[in-house]
Amino acid sequence: MFSHLSASLVDGLLIGFVYGIAAMGLSLIWGVMRVVNLAHGATMALGMFFIYYLFSGAGMNPYLALPLAALLAMAFGFIVYVVALHRVIQAGYLYTLLATFAVNMIIIGIGTTVFTTSPRNVDFSLGSVTLGGEILQGTRLVAAAASVTITGALYLFLYFTRTGKAIRAVSNNRAAAELMGISSARVLALSFGIGTMLAAVAGSLTATFFPFTILSGSTYQLKSFVICVLGGLGNPLGALLGGLILGALEGIVPVFMPVSWVPVVEFGLFVAVLVIRPSGLMGAK
């Protein structure tokens, strides 16, 4: 029982790193732009198809293709911001909510037509590693390592570069940042691009160990909302902690009860955090 529990826990934690990256993009967009991005899950699904076609069509190693998928996703994020969000960003939460919902439906509609809803899978293996008696899949280890690397790179970018400091300035006080000569429009476009990139990268990593369709993103979007609230909405680094907690729950719960109870426990935790600590574990007061 203990060995099965520890194996499930470790496996859940490895997946939790990828969940954290997905939620990090959602949290960054909210923290800087105050936009609830309802197209986040659809963007993750696009990331899955990016990596699938780069792997199956171009024969690229999915992990070596990850930077290309990230660049494509960032460019897509810029386009979405300019077309759907730029004109309504000052209009209030409802307008941006509806705009991102429209983008979500457009992606799903076009994706269903182009890709159909037949499950795909990136059939790529890196073998396994035995550590302390536990067998760990190589793809999940690499995905976790990539997630940690991306988190570190994002932290360094936000805190130690001029552009990153501009993003934090706009997040704290947009009007004051503009008075200091910072172009808030460029910062918002860049922030949305980075958030979109993180979503697509998380989708790309997820595609290496789970089957997917164009509709798969909705499940991960709901998980991202839970993680953001758990770690602290608007705190990208808190999202990684929230992802680890959610991943651990997904590893532990099926050991003691049917797997169908996993979403019940997850959203029960979501409600509990909202009631007990609405700011999350690492959120501001």
* pLDDT tens for each residue of 127-161: 877 766 667 788 899 999 999 999 999 999 999 99
What pTM was computed for the model?
0.92
pLDDT given at position 3: 57
> CA 177, CA 121: separation in Å to the nearest integer?
45
> CA 124, CA 52: separation in Å to the nearest integer?
10
* pLDDT tens for each residue of 186-221: 999 999 999 999 999 999 999 998 999 999 999 999
Report the percentage of the chain scoring pLDDT > 90. Answer: 62
* pLDDT tens for each residue of 42-93: 999 999 999 999 999 888 899 999 999 999 999 999 999 999 999 999 888 8
pLDDT given at position 1: 53
* Whole-number Cα distances in Å, 99 to 87, 131, 171, 197: 10, 47, 21, 19
Q: Residue 24 CB: number of other CB atoms within 10 A?
A: 32
Q: Fold for domain 2-276?
A: ABC transporter involved in vitamin B12 uptake, BtuC (1.10.3470)
